Structure 1
Amino acid sequence: MPDLWTIAEVAAHLGVKPGSARGTLSRWGVRAVDHRIDDHGRAHSLYDPDEVRAAHADRPGRGTRTDLRK
């Protein structure tokens, strides 16, 4: 199984806080591919790094008029 990213690793890649990263991934349609339970019984979502990188690269640039798309 390839290495998967936690939300903290995704946030570091995107340059935002973990809470912002969760919302961003949701808007981009990136879903967790697996979940891990830690020693304290908390579930952690794991994301495919390639999918995160692709979604990050495909986002519109600054000043893009997305309302004009057909």
Structure 2
Amino acid sequence: MPDPTNEELWLIGRVMEHLDVRTRSGARTFLRRAGIQTVDYVTGPTGRPEARYQADAVRDAAAMRPGRGARTDLNRDA
């Protein structure tokens, strides 16, 4: 198990940048569908809690998603 003190954690804004997604809800939808769980929460500048996510998990899930216009219906393994 990796040392939690050394793991890179991203806020939703950084996840949005990496995924090239324009909205927070779009990034959260991606995280939910990819099964990426929140690691912890920190207090943001407005005083509200902000979730943090494992950067490695986000990178790995982003690498697995199909490209723009990909015909995913042609890749049936059945």
TM range (shorter): 0.7 to 0.9
TM-score (norm. length: structure 2): 0.75
Paired AA for residue 53 in structure 2: Y
Give the share of equivalent positions with the same residue, in percent. Answer: 37
Does residue 1:10 correspond to 2:12, yes or no?
A: no
Q: Which residue of 2 aligns with 1:63?
A: 71
Deviation at 1:67, TM superposition (A): 8.0
SS at match of 1:11: helix
- Which of residues 22, 45, 51 in structure 1 aligns to 2:51? 45
User: Which structure has the greater CA radius of gyration?
Assistant: 2
CA distance in 2, matches of 1:68, 1:4: 34
Structure 1 unmatched ranges of 5 or more: none
Structure in which a larger fraction of residues adopt strand: 2
How many pairs are equivalent? Answer: 70
